[in-house]
Amino acid sequence: MNLSDIKSKEIMPGYHGKLVHGEQMSWVFWDVEQNAEVPEHHHMNEQIMHVVEGSFEFTLDGNTKVYGPGDIVVIPSHTPHSGKALTPCKLMDIFSPAREEYK
């Protein structure tokens, strides 16, 4: 499999993801449009976010920071979080267990 062979899906407005699923995890490669927002939410999946390109404002459990290339954020299960792309961004997210609703 090659990333270029995976069709991108717009999961929410401005968030275009290429999704890879294993038995116990999901890996998402995001292309995010500038100013696209993810409203505050939480889920049972543990999540690790990596900023590949751009500037991404992220709020985790009420704490807001701006992240850039190379930054990594660990998001524990059931922890409220939200985000906004301050510039066009490329992000990677890993979820465990797999995000069934993304399949």
Instruction: Provide the CATH number for the domain around residue 83.
Output: 2.60.120.10
Looking at the domain assignment, is residue 60 inside a domain?
yes
Looking at the domain assignment, is residue 33 inside a domain?
yes
Question: Tens digit of pLDDT for each residue in 4-46?
Answer: 999 999 999 999 999 999 999 999 999 999 999 999 999 999 9
Number of domains into which the chain is organized: 1
Question: Tens digit of pLDDT for each residue in 76-103?
Answer: 999 999 999 999 999 999 999 999 888 8
65 lies in which domain range? 8-102
Looking at the domain assignment, is residue 43 inside a domain?
yes
Looking at the domain assignment, is residue 12 inside a domain?
yes
What is the three-state SS of the chain?
CCHHHCCCEEEECCEEEEEEECCCCEEEEEEECCCCEEEEECCCCEEEEEEEECCEEEEECCEEEEECCCCEEEECCCCCEEEEECCCEEEEEEEECCCHHHC
